[in-house]
């Protein structure tokens, strides 16, 4: 590829053009990998293998490094999420105040383990080490809203509300 020539994705998917803008903004530097992966996930919803290969090539990085970063950080998804996300904090304060009981109740009620998505693809259950709202423990992030002082019953109720609420499309 000649210098200055844009790489073109074989599928012709225009979302790759948006990703190229982010790569160009960071001058194709490898040290911008995390930011580029964030943008890629924002555009595509998750980081599929084809996308990781594209990013590795564009940033002139080994695929192993791109894949390593994408799998190391919990905020990157390698498979599609559900329509909504329920991120349960498992930090010390939340754990001590009952996060484990919330996790068990949700897994039993929805027949879905954390790290997975419900069969109807409505909710993905995720754990996080700490979401930084320890004073509200136990805490979960429902889509983008932090909800504190949860208990198992309230958590089940909140997930049911999520499942019955269409996710707003971001402009």
Residues 109-166: tens digit of each pLDDT: 999 999 899 999 999 999 998 889 999 999 999 988 999 999 999 999 999 999 998 8
Q: Is residue 100 very low, low, confident or very high in pLDDT (cuts 50, 70, 90)?
A: very high
Q: Is the pLDDT of residue 169 over 50?
A: no
Which phi and psi angles does 169 have, rounded to 5°? -80, 125
pTM of the model: 0.63
First to last CA, the chain: 34
Rounded Cα distance between 5 and 84, Å, is 39
- 56-95 confidence digits (pLDDT tens): 999 999 999 999 999 998 789 898 889 999 999 999 999 9
Confidence of residue 171 (pLDDT cuts 50, 70, 90): very low
Strand-pair partners of 87:
126, 141
Q: Which domains does the chain have, with CATH numbers?
A: 15-72 (1.10.10), 84-163 (3.40.30.10)
In this predicted structure, the answer to whether residue 4 has a pLDDT above a threshold of 90 is no
The sheet that has 84-89: what strands, in order across it?
Answer: 123-128, 84-89, 140-142, 145-147
User: Given this model, what pLDDT does residue 117 score?
Assistant: 92
- How far is Cα 32 from Cα 120, in angstroms, rounded to an integer? 36
Mean pLDDT within 18-44: 93
Of 40 and 9, the structure prediction assigns the larger pLDDT to 40
Band of pLDDT at residue 8, cut at 50, 70 and 90: low
């Amino acid at each position: 590829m000649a210098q200055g020539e844009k790489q073109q994705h074989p599928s012709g998917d225009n979302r790759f053009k948006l990703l190229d803008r982010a790569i160009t903004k960071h001058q194709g530097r490898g040290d911008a990998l995390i930011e580029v992966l964030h943008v890629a996930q924002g555009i595509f919803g998750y980081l599929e293998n084809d996308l990781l290969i594209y990013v590795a090539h564009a940033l002139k990085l080994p695929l192993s490094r791109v894949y390593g970063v994408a799998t190391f950080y919990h905020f990157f998804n390698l498979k599609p999420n559900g329509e909504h996300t329920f991120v349960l904090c498992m930090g010390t304060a939340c754990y001590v105040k009952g996060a484990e009981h919330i996790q068990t109740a949700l897994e039993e009620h929805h027949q879905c383990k954390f790290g997975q998505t419900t069969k109807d693809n409505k909710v993905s259950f995720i754990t996080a080490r700490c979401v930084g709202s320890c004073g509200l423990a136990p805490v979960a992030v429902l889509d983008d809203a932090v909800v504190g002082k949860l208990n198992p019953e309230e958590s089940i109720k909140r997930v049911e509300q999520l499942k019955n609420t269409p996710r707003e499309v971001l402009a």
